[in-house]
Amino acid sequence: MHALKVRINLDAPVIAGANDLGVLNAMVSCVGQLGSSSRSGRKDQPADLFITVGGLTSRSSDVPDEHLNWMSQRPLNIGDVISVEVLDTLNVDAPTCGEEAEKRLNDEREYFEHCKKVYFSLREKYEAR
């Protein structure tokens, strides 16, 4: 199976992967005032720096799909070194957590009813009086 081996500095690596994944990612995020010319809604707050390693199952059976996490917004510091290696392996780490993914609205009528419900809940807010 495809997997990602993620290492931060000299810490033990995490090998993320599962046989039933359709999505696997490692994302490094920097959020906030990142430069002297950028503005921030949070005065005198340092930028948030973090990494997330996760995935989404793509199961062919009636078992619900799940969002899985191996690292969930792990904080980073300036100077951290992150390496990501793409592997083909059977030896992976178990995810630290997971939650059922929302089902897509594939049925046209069901989707219409969903949109109608949202429309009526927001109508007063956006329509001119």
> How does DSSP classify residue 93?
B
Residue 43: what pLDDT? 67
User: Which of 28, 44, 34, 15 minimizes the C-alpha distance to 76?
Assistant: 28
Place of tokens 């340092």: 46
Residue 32: what pLDDT? 84
3-state secondary structure 40-71: CCCCCCCCEEEEEEEEEECCCCCCCCEEEEEE
Residue 115: what pLDDT? 87
Q: Is pLDDT larger for residue 115 or for residue 90?
A: 90
Residue 106: what pLDDT? 59
Q: Is pLDDT larger for residue 76 or for residue 127?
A: 76
Residue 104: what pLDDT? 57
pLDDT tens digits, one per residue of 44-72: 778 889 999 999 999 887 788 889 999 99
Q: Is pLDDT larger for residue 3 or for residue 128?
A: 3
pLDDT tens digits, one per residue of 9-30: 999 999 999 999 999 999 999 9
Q: pLDDT > 70: what percent of the chain?
A: 91
